[in-house]
């Protein structure tokens, strides 16, 4: 149903063909400002059912991408490097303890496995050996969980395609084998293989680089958005000033036209009075 505009004549019926125009609000008069995209994807945007509900594939992809972002952060790389350093220091402490250990069986036994040398005839040496062995093994199990999370986050095929990832996983598996499946002496000396994982410093540098690039892009997008908003305000101000200038020009033209009419009228009056005076003077001259 369309609203009807009444006719100018109060007695006539309203017209059926002219719709009532809606008055523009302040929001409609504001300029349209183009906002830059920040790369934020709307959830459920590409849902195949068209109802906005997330699909199982979409949920899996989002979780996997979120895990990958969390695993590649600078904080995560610092945590892993700290655990590697702690494991290396634990291996060094085990070697240092075996040098001054006088319990039986000896810590550097060439025949017994390291798990068989934990129980000794001296209690405090038993406690030290057990703590160092269990603590180092626990750290290396954490490294296995870290590798599993990386495989899940990046995908098995993508993980296998990276030589650095394969080397890192091989070092972790070899460190666990060395720690549990070798005789005590070889195990204590070969535990330093975990030091090879410090090659992850390269991954840390990549994470730092990615973090800097991401922050720079975010700052640039924020600056661009603020610039667009400021330009929108300036464009609105320019339109307002142009409109006011056109209104003042119109008023000036009206005033100039009125002054021109008044000047022409004055000139006509002066000419009329001059002609009247000259006619009167001529008449007086003729009468004389």
Q: Say what the alpha-carbon torsion angle 39, 42, 43, 45 is, to the nearest 10 degrees.
A: -120
Calculate what percentage of the chain has a pLDDT beyond 70.
70
Per-residue confidence band for 142, with pLDDT thresholds at 50, 70 and 90? very high
Picking from 94-98, 155-159, 182-186, 276-280, which range would have the lowest pLDDT averaged per residue?
A: 276-280
Mean pLDDT, rounded, for 199-224: 80
Taking the C-alpha atoms of residue 249 and residue 242, their distance in angstroms, rounded to an integer, is 10
* Token pair in block for residue 277: 């005076």
Residue ranges of the domains in the chain?
65-209
* Token pair in block for residue 270: 């002066």
Mean pLDDT for all residues in the chain: 75
In tens, the pLDDT along 26-76 reads 445 544 444 433 333 333 444 444 444 444 444 555 777 777 777 777 788
Taking the C-alpha atoms of residue 110 and residue 149, their distance in angstroms, rounded to an integer, is 37
How confident is the model at residue 260, as a pLDDT? 60
Residues recorded for the chain: 288
In tens, the pLDDT along 168-209 reads 889 899 989 988 888 888 888 888 888 888 877 777 677 677
Mean pLDDT, rounded, for 268-285: 70
How confident is the model at residue 71, as a pLDDT? 78
How confident is the model at residue 2, as a pLDDT? 45
How confident is the model at residue 25, as a pLDDT? 52
How confident is the model at residue 215, as a pLDDT? 83
In tens, the pLDDT along 92-137 reads 998 888 888 888 888 888 888 888 888 888 888 889 889 999 999 9
């Amino acid at each position: 149903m369309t609203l009807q505009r009444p006719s100018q004549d109060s007695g006539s019926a309203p017209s059926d063909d002219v719709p009532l125009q809606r008055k523009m609000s302040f929001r409609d008069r504001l300029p349209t400002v183009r906002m830059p995209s920040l790369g934020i994807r709307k959830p459920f945007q590409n849902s195949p059912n068209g109802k906005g509900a997330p699909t199982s594939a979409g949920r899996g992809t989002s979780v996997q991408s979120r895990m990958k972002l969390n695993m590649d952060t600078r904080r995560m790389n610092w945590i892993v490097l700290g655990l590697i350093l702690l494991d290396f220091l634990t291996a060094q402490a085990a070697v240092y303890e075996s040098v001054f250990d006088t319990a039986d069986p000896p810590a550097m036994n060439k025949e017994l496995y390291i798990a068989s040398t934990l129980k000794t005839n001296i209690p405090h040496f038993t406690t030290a050996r057990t703590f160092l062995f269990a603590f180092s093994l626990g750290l290396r199990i954490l490294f296995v969980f870290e590798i599993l999370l990386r495989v899940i986050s990046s995908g098995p095929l993508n993980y296998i395609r990276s030589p650095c990832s394969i080397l890192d996983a091989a070092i972790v598996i070899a460190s666990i084998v060395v720690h549990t499946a070798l005789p005590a002496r070889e195990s204590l000396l070969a535990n330093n293989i975990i030091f090879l994982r410090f090659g992850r410093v390269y991954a840390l540098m990549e994470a730092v680089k990615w973090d800097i690039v991401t922050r720079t892009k975010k700052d640039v997008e924020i600056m661009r958005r603020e610039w667009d908003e400021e330009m929108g305000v300036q464009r609105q101000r320019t339109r307002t000033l142009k409109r006011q200038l056109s209104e003042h020009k119109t008023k000036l033209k009206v005033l100039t036209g009125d002054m021109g009419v008044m000047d022409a009228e004055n000139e006509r009056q002066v000419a009329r009075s001059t002609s009247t005076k000259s006619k009167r003077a001529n008449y007086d001259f003729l009468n004389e």
